[in-house]
Amino acid sequence: MIIAYSELGRANPARAYEVFRGLYAELSRREDMGLNFRFFPRLLCGMVFSCSSGRIPQPECEVSRWKWLLERMLREGRGKEKDVKNALACLAGIPLEATQQAL
């Protein structure tokens, strides 16, 4: 995560997202979806910030899942409240992947 946040500091959100995404994928496989991992709130917030600042498209279902997780973290007092609220606000800045429709 240190590398990912360093990349955000260097204005390289795409690289930061790659690092965050790898960690997130591993933690999401856990029975608790990673929520009990001590640094999960920071990880999720960093991933949202990366996608928003880098305009990295995400599937609508993923953005919805992130919103659900962030709202749960806010309700349960996980992570820094300010960071979680900022991440929730940043969700609107994430472009949604275009869905291909059959002709």
Structure tokens at 65: 């899942």
Give me the count of residues in the chain. 103
Nearest CA to 63 out of 83, 39, 93, 28 is that of 93
| pTM for this prediction | 0.83
DSSP code at position 64: H
Read off the pLDDT of each residue in 34-62 and give the average, rounded to a whole number. Answer: 89
* pLDDT (tens digit per residue) in 83-100: 999 999 999 999 999 865
Query: For residue range 68-77, what is the model confidence (pLDDT) as tens digits?
Result: 999 999 999 9
Q: Does residue 101 have a pLDDT over 70? A: no
Contact, 34 vs 40, CB < 8 A? Answer: yes
Q: Please, which residues bridge with residue 96 across strands?
A: 58
Instruction: Work out the pLDDT band at 35, boundaries 50, 70, 90.
Output: low
How many Å separate Cα 65 from the centre of its chain?
Answer: 10
